[in-house]
Amino acid sequence: MHSGPDWADSARQLQQSLEEGWQKSLETFAGGKSLTAFAGLGEHTNAPPQLPQLTFSPARIAALQQAYLKEASELWNHGLSGVAGGDKRFTNEAWGSNPVSAFTAATYLLNGRTLLGLVEAAETDPKTKARLRFAIEQWMAASAPSNFLVLNAEAQKKALETRGESIAKGIQNLLNDIQQGHVSMTDERQFEVGRNVATTEGAVVFENELMQLIEYKPAGSKVYERPFLVVPPCINKYYILDLQPENSLVKHLVDQGHRTFVVSWRNADSEIENKTWDDYVGEGALEAIRVVQEISGARQINALGFCVGGTILGTALAVLAARKQKPVASATFLTTLLDFTETGVLDLFIDENFVKFRELQIGQKGLLKGQELASTFSFLRPNDLVWNYVVGNYLKGETPPPFDLLYWNSDSTNLPGPMYAWYLRNTYFENNLVKPGKCTVCGEKIDLRKVDIPVYIYGSREDHIVPIGGAYASVQHLPGKKRFVMGASGHIAGVINPPAKNKRSYWTNDKLPATHAEWMEGAKEHPGSWWPDWMSWLKPLAGKQVPAPKRYGKGEYKAIEPAPGRYVKAKA
């Protein structure tokens, strides 16, 4: 009987391949430049970055070999009738009715499990092991037999049924996607910003180089006396919070009687390529707070930050606290990181060499292109957000159905290089925002312990961008009265969960122990959307009811143009 592969030699080859692959990955994430560009950084002037050391336990390698040979023998003994183990890529009946395709899929899955087992057998530090796991998962996702027409039984069957029409349509879809510069996740022709997404009625009442401020038309004759300011993420466009009337968080705020304002960030271009984190805090969040106060005449406002918008808002509140000012009565943080101890898979890419290279590359001026950001986030879930569309669009010749959220997801934004470089070092790499006095922003030492206001903190249970533990960590750094709520689903679907849909669920626990795991032990699950819980929390903080304004803006702040404004329509 054949003894099988030389597993010790395979382990050595894997180590060499992973070292080469990791170096190429770093080059890719560093903008396609050679890693020799790192030369001259600090004391490692002429040395390349240190690669991790790997060793493999002989006992674990032997166990893997035995398991592989056993499963491979069983698969072969089925006579080319392997099954794909429930993987949704291979569940179509075409795979089962074609013995060669079924065997190919089953062999692919066996090899994938074995490679991941080899990674688990590697004896190295946890971050290196996570990087290896990520690299193998990316390689497996890209090399799946479903991604190739010659191996995809389902696509072949469709080509025969349509007499080649599906192939012709697939080629046309490929040409269209090459022209637009990204893989289509939805039929983008069905959407237009301002026509059927971002449609809540309002007007731009202020703008500067960095942002426009939108005021929305009140739904009734009364509004709460404290207006509500929304600071969305700048890494994508604000209308994720105003997709369509039935799932718009902005419209929900308006309908609940809140006089609502939203920051619409400018899609960065060469005119603002030197903007910094200080600018996003000062000319963005702080300026928006000031203008909302002036327009409304309110001494205090309520504010919300979503994702990176929450990090910007939290920094702005710390600046205000350092100045002994308190214009914000309460803050809501949605899927926000203030403490970057737990950042999930994004942490895999970030080390000293990567950060230094980005600082040299775009730290003084330049742009982080929106497509680079979009691709990075898509490849965090490659099967769902990349290869699924490659197979559907090109191999099957399908047009993806219209879906507002995926249209938004494809509408990418650029970031100024200096802002991004500061953010990368001071949050993901050094976690400086939670170190009192470590960061200076807008001339003030940042200390989150001084942000003593009521806060509502929301995290999504299955969030792969802001892990739930990272979202929960904010409760340990903000001293005011706090409420933490966890919603089901992920980074976007968990947040955009209107009550009328009656979908998913959320969890609450009035006690706030040190960790999210401890919080979960006493948490209670509730069916439906978390929005009503949030509105109940916000209502007593919004003040009394006052007559709604008759017109947009006030005094020098007049309506500039109808919502959604021109900033949000600029393409990356």
78: phi > 0 → left, psi -120 to 50 → alpha, else beta; which? alpha
Query: Catalytic residue among 234, 307, 439, 442, which?
Result: 307
537 vs 258: CA distance, rounded Å: 13
Amino acid at 248: S
205 vs 565: CA distance, rounded Å: 10
Task: Report which DSSP code applies to 197.
Answer: B
Amino acid at 471: A
328 closest CA partner among 483, 477, 541, 547: 541
395 vs 101: CA distance, rounded Å: 15
214 vs 101: CA distance, rounded Å: 55
Give 220: exposed, middle or buried? Use CB within 10 Å, 0-12, 13-18, 19+: exposed
259 vs 317: CA distance, rounded Å: 21
Are 492 and 335 spatial neighbours (Cβ–Cβ below 8 Å)?
no
Please, which residues bridge with residue 557 across strands?
554
Q: What are phi and psi of 215, to 5 degrees?
A: -110, 135
442 is catalytic: no
Query: Based on C-alpha coordinates, what's the Rg of the chain?
Result: 26
Are 236 and 408 spatial neighbours (Cβ–Cβ below 8 Å)?
yes
Query: What does DSSP say about strands 455-460 and 328-334: parallel, antiparallel, or unpaired?
Result: parallel
61 closest CA partner among 15, 108, 103, 109: 15
150 vs 142: CA distance, rounded Å: 15
492 vs 185: CA distance, rounded Å: 16
Please, which residues bridge with residue 215 across strands?
203, 261
Sorted by sequence, the CB contacts under 8 Å of residue 54 that are 6+ apart come out as 15, 18, 122, 123, 124, 128
- Distances in Å between the Cα of 167 and the Cα atoms of 89, 160, 391 are 19, 10, 11
User: Helix 165-180 vs helix 153-161: angle between axes, to the nearest 10 degrees?
Assistant: 120
Q: Would you name the residues annotated as active-site residues?
A: 307
